[in-house]
Structure 1
Amino acid sequence: MKSTLKKELGISNTQFSLLEASEDFMATVLLPFSGLITDRFGGANMIVYGNIIYTLGSVLVAAAATVESYKFMIGSRVILAFGDIATQIAQYKMFSSWFPPNEGFASTVGFELAIGKLGGFAGQSTANIIAKKTGHFYWTFWVAVFMNLFTNASTALFWIFSRYCEKRYIGRRDTATNENLTEKNKKFELKKVFELPWTFWAVLSFSLFQTSAAIVFSQNSTELAEKRFNVDSIKAGWYSALSKYTGFFLVPCLGVFIDILGNRATVMCVCGIGMLLCMCLVNFADTSAGTAASFGIYAVAVSLGPVSIIDSIRAVLYHQSVFGSAYSLKITMNNAPIRRMNVIIRIITGALQDADNDSYRRAVRVYLFQAAASVVVGLTILIGSFFVDSLAVLQWTRKYRLKNGGAIIDTLKEKSATVHLWAAGWHTSGGLLQATTLDEMKM
C-alpha cells in the first residue's frame, strides 16, 4: 500500500517513512510499561483491552484514509499502536505460562506465527485489489475494521473460557526446573526484571539488526517490486506478499524442530546468513531475476527469525514470571535502539530514495549493513554456545534439558545471584567510601 498511500495522500517517501515511524515512536515509550503491567495483571486481561483499543485505532485510521488527511492518519496510527503494543505482548505471555522451553512453547509460537502469516498474506495481496475494485483506497482500511470486530468477539469468548479454567485448574510446572508457570503475578517483579541474564541481552543484540532489516525491507518491498519488475501495484503486492508469507509452512515445522532438537543459536545464525544473501542480491543484482531470487531467499530467511528469537528469550530466562517484561524489552529493542533505529533508518532510506529520483539504489545499502551486522552477532552467539554454559542453553535438546537442565540452570541462577549481590555490595561500599571521604574532607 506504500505507493497507493503516497499517491492518494500526496506525500513523499520521507513523509511516508514518518507515518510508519509514528507507531515505532509510541512503542518505544510505552512498551516497557506494558510488559510490567502484563506480567502483573495477566495476558488474558491485557489482550481484551488491547484489542478494544486496536479496533478504535483502526476505525480512526480508516476515517483518516476516507478524508485523505495525512496529519489525521499519523494521529490515528499512534492510537493504533497502543492496542498493538498490548496484544502482541499478552499473547506470548499466555503461551509462556502454558508451555516451558522444549515442551511446546516454540511449537505454539510457530503455529501462531503461521496463522498470522496467512492473514498477512491475504491482507497484503488483496489491499490494492480492494482499492482498485471499489474505486476508493480507504475501503481497504474499512475491511480491516470489520475483521477487528470479529477479533474482539473471539477474544471475549477466550477471556470467559480463561476465567473458567483459572477457577477450576491449577497452573503447570516446568518439568526440568520444577518452576511454577504463572499467567499473572501478585506484585510487580521489578527486581527480577533488573536481574535478567546477560544471555538475554545477547539474543536481543541479534534481534536488533535482523528484525530491523526485515521490518524496513518489508515496508518497502511492494514498491521495490513495482520498480524492479516493472509491474502495477496489484502484481507488486502479490510478489511482496509471497516474499514475506510464503514461508508460513516452515514456521510451525521450525517450532517443532526447536522444541525437540533445540539448536536455537544455529537457526539464528542461518537466518542472519539468509538475510545477508538476500540483501546482497538486492544490492548488486538489480535485474528482475536477481530481485526475484532475493525475494525467494528472504521468504525462507525471514521465517526463521521470530520463532528462534522468541523461544531463545524464553529459554535463557531464569524466571518465567517476568517473560512479559522480557518480551516487551525485546520489542523495545525493535522500538528503541531498533525502533529508534527504525525511525532513523526509515527516514534515511526515504530521504535517500527521494534524493535518488525515487530509486532504491542507495536505500538498499542500509539493508545490507543491517543484515551483515546480524550475521556477525549470530556467529558470535553460535561459537560462544560451545564454550559458555549460559549460551549452551540455546542449543539444548528436549532430552538434554529434561535430564540435566534443572541442575545446570540452578547453578547459573546461583552464579547470577552472586554477581548481582557483589554488584550491589560494591555500589553500597562505594557509596559509604564516598560519604566517609566527604566527611573527612569536611573535618
Structure 2
Amino acid sequence: MAFDTSEPKSVDVVLAPVREDTDTPSEESHDDSDGKKPPPLAAKLCAVALISCISFGSHWSSGVTGAMKTTIKKQMHIDNVQFSLLEASENFMATVLLLISGVITDRVGGAEMIVYGNIVYTIGSILVAAAATVRSFDFMIGGRVILALGDIATQIAQYKMFSSWFPPSSGFASTLGFELAIGKIGGFVGKSTANIIAKKTGNFAWVFWTSVFMNLFTNVATAGFWFFNQYCNRHYKGRRDGATKEQLTEKNKKFEFQKVFELPWMFWAVMAFSVFQTSAASVFSQNATELAEKRFNVDSIQAGWYSSLSQYAGFFLVPCLGVFIDVLGNRASVLFTCGAGMLLSMVLINFATSKAGTGAAFGIYAIAMSLGPTSVIDSIRTTLWHQSVFGSAYSLKVTMNNAMSIIIRIITGALQDADDNSYRRVVQVYLVLAAGALGVGAAILIGSFVTDNLAVLQWTRHKRLTSGAAIIERIRERSLVTQHRRTRNISLICFGALILLTLGSWVAYIWGQLPVIIPSWVS
C-alpha cells in the first residue's frame, strides 16, 4: 500500500460542512475578497455551549442503567452475567461500527453526524423504555443496540468538530474540559436521581422514560446547533494551526485511508494508557452503585448518591485541567498522576474494605477520573501528524476501550456470580487494570524526558508556538520519510493487536450470550 506523505491541502473550514479548495493563488485571493474571516471567539463559544447541551442529555441517559443494577436484576430476573451483557451490548456495536463511523465522520463532517446520530439515539431510548415497561430482557438488548448506533455517530462527531476549531495548546483542551464538565453534571443528575424516580413512581421503567424526555431536549439542542452551523457556514471561514500552519478541516475531500496508517507510535503509546485507565473506569462505574450498597450497607438511593459523587464530584476540576493543559502542557505528567490516583483508589477498594476506606477510595477515584478524559483526548490530538484524520484516530481509541470493556465486564460478571454475588474477586481485576495504567503512564512520562517524540506532550503553549514548528517538522519528516517503513510496521502491528482485541471481545460477548440463548432454544 502506498502512503501519501505530502502536506495536506488548504481547505476552507467553518463550523459546518465545508468545501475544500486547492492551494492556488486565484482561490486564495478569492477567499480574501469574499469578506469572510475566521469565526470569532463568541461564535466558537456559542457552538461549544450548544454541543455541551447535547452532551448533557446523552450523559444523563448513559448513567441510569448502572445506577439501577440491583433494581434491574430483581425486576427483570437476570443475573450478573446477563446484566453485563446488557451493558456490553452497546460496547459490542461500538466495536463493530465505530471505526467505520470515524472514517465517515472525517469525510462528511461532524455536524451532519450529530444530527443523524441523535435521532437514532432517541429511537433507541424509546425502545429501551418500552422494554423496561414490559420487563423484556431480550427486547431491552435490542433497544440498547439501536441506541448504540446513534451514540456511535455522535460521540466521534463532536470531538472531530472541536479539533477543526481549536489546535493543541490553543483552546482544544479548554473546550474539551468545558464540554466534559457539563457532561459530568448531566451524568451525576441522571445517576443520582434514577433510584429516586424508580421508588417514588413505583416503576423503574419511568427512569428510562425520563431519559426519553431528556433525549427530546437533546434533539432540540441538536436542531439549534445545526441552524447555527448553517449561519456560520455562510459568514465565516476556517483557521490554521498557529504552530504548524496546518489548515484545520471539519471534513475532507476524500477518504484518507493512507493517513490513518501513518499514525505515529506516540499515538499508540497514549492508546496503551487508555486501554487500562478508561476500561477500569468504565467497568468500575458500572458496578459502583451496587458496590456502595454492599460496602456502606445502605439502600439503592443512598448508594446512587455515593457512586455518583465518586464519578462526577470532580467535574469542577475538568475545565481547570483543560486550561492548564492548553497553557502549561505537561500532558504526560497528568497521565501519570491519573494512573497513580487510579491505582491508589483501587488499592483502598481491595484492602481497606471498611466504610472509611471505601469512602476514601471513592473520593480519590473522583479526582483521578477527572484527570483522564481531557488529558487522553488532547494527547491523541497532539501526537497526530494530520488533523484531518482525528475522527478516525479517536474512533480507534473508543473501539479499543469498548472491546476491552466487553471482555472485562463479562469476566467480572462471571466472577461475581461464581463468588455468591460478592465483589471480593471482582475488585482484584480493577487493581490489575489500574496498575497497568500507572505502568504505561510512568513509561510515557520518562519517555517525554528522553525523546523529542514524546516531549511534545509536555510542551507549554509558548514552546509550541515559538519553536515547536521546526521540531515537529523534523520529527514528522523522520517518521514519514526517513523511517517510513518503521512507522508503517509499527502502525500495522498495533492495528493487528487492536483487531485481535476486538475479535476477543466478540468471542467474550457471544460466550456470555450462550447461557441466555441455549435455554430459549431448548424450551
> With structure 1 as the length reference, what TM-score do the two structures score?
0.94
State the 1:154 CA deviation: 1.1
The root-mean-square deviation of aligned C-alpha atoms, in Å, is 1.2
Partner Cα separation in structure 1 for residue 360 and residue 225 of structure 2 = 42
CA contact (8 A) 2:89 2:145 kept: yes
CA contact (8 A) 1:50 1:85 kept: yes
State the 1:167 CA deviation: 2.4
SS class of match (1:238): helix
Q: Find runs of 4+ consecutive structure 1 residues off by over 2 angstroms.
A: 419-426
Q: 5+ residue gaps in structure 1?
A: 427-443
State the 1:373 CA deviation: 0.5
Whether 2:160 is the aligned partner of 1:97: answer no
Whether 2:459 is the aligned partner of 1:392: answer no
Q: 1:201-280 alignment to 2 at 5 Å?
A: 201-280=268-347
Give CA deviations for 1:247-299 in whole Å, capped at 9, x if unaligned. 00000000000000000000000000000000000001111111101000000
Residue of structure 2 equivalent to 1:356: 419
Whether 2:122 is the aligned partner of 1:55: answer yes
CA contact (8 A) 2:103 2:392 kept: yes
Whether 2:396 is the aligned partner of 1:333: answer no
Partner Cα separation in structure 2 for residue 408 and residue 142 of structure 1 = 53
Whether 2:414 is the aligned partner of 1:347: answer no
**In structure 2, what residue type is equivalent to 1:349?**
T
**Alignment equivalent of 1:374, drawn from 431, 437, 452:** 437
Partner Cα separation in structure 1 for residue 129 and residue 196 of structure 2 = 17
State the 1:351 CA deviation: 1.3
CA contact (8 A) 1:195 1:420 kept: no
Partner Cα separation in structure 2 for residue 145 and residue 101 of structure 1 = 36
**In structure 1, what residue type is equivalent to 2:408?**
I
Q: 5+ residue gaps in structure 2?
A: 1-67, 490-523
Partner Cα separation in structure 1 for residue 275 and residue 171 of structure 2 = 26
Residue of structure 1 equivalent to 2:83: 16
Partner Cα separation in structure 2 for residue 181 and residue 188 of structure 1 = 16
Whether 2:265 is the aligned partner of 1:198: answer yes
Task: Quote the sequence identity (%).
Answer: 72
SS class of match (1:125): helix
Partner Cα separation in structure 1 for residue 241 and residue 308 of structure 2 = 38
Give CA deviations for 1:230-256 in whole Å, capped at 9, x if unaligned. 000000000000100000000000000
**Alignment equivalent of 1:160, drawn from 227, 230, 242:** 227
Residue of structure 2 equivalent to 1:174: 241
Partner Cα separation in structure 1 for residue 90 and residue 260 of structure 2 = 25
Partner Cα separation in structure 2 for residue 296 and residue 268 of structure 1 = 18
Partner Cα separation in structure 2 for residue 223 and residue 422 of structure 1 = 50
Give CA deviations for 1:281-337 in whole Å, capped at 9, x if unaligned. 0001111111101000000000000000000011111111111011101101102xx
State the 1:161 CA deviation: 1.2
Q: 1:281-430 alignment to 2 at 5 Å?
A: 281-335=348-402, 339=403, 341-419=404-482, 421-422=484-485
Decide whether aligned partners of structure 1 residues 245 and 424 sit closer, same or farther in structure 2, where only a CA change above 3 A counts: closer
State the 1:103 CA deviation: 0.5
CA contact (8 A) 2:262 2:487 kept: no
Decide whether aligned partners of structure 1 residues 413 and 76 sit closer, same or farther in structure 2, where only a CA change above 3 A counts: same
SS class of match (1:385): helix
CA contact (8 A) 2:92 2:406 kept: yes
Decide whether aligned partners of structure 1 residues 216 and 315 sit closer, same or farther in structure 2, where only a CA change above 3 A counts: same
CA contact (8 A) 2:178 2:319 kept: yes
Partner Cα separation in structure 1 for residue 472 and residue 485 of structure 2 = 20
Partner Cα separation in structure 1 for residue 485 and residue 261 of structure 2 = 15
Partner Cα separation in structure 1 for residue 175 and residue 218 of structure 2 = 19
Residue of structure 2 equivalent to 1:68: 135
**In structure 2, what residue type is equivalent to 1:411?**
R
SS class of match (2:97): helix
Partner Cα separation in structure 1 for residue 336 and residue 440 of structure 2 = 8
State the 1:357 CA deviation: 1.4
CA contact (8 A) 2:480 2:487 kept: no
Partner Cα separation in structure 2 for residue 46 and residue 412 of structure 1 = 33
Partner Cα separation in structure 1 for residue 386 and residue 280 of structure 2 = 30
Residue of structure 2 equivalent to 1:436: none
Partner Cα separation in structure 2 for residue 119 and residue 200 of structure 1 = 30
> With structure 2 as the length reference, what TM-score do the two structures score?
0.80
Partner Cα separation in structure 2 for residue 275 and residue 417 of structure 1 = 36
Partner Cα separation in structure 2 for residue 80 and residue 185 of structure 1 = 27
Partner Cα separation in structure 2 for residue 224 and residue 155 of structure 1 = 36
Residue of structure 2 equivalent to 1:4: 71
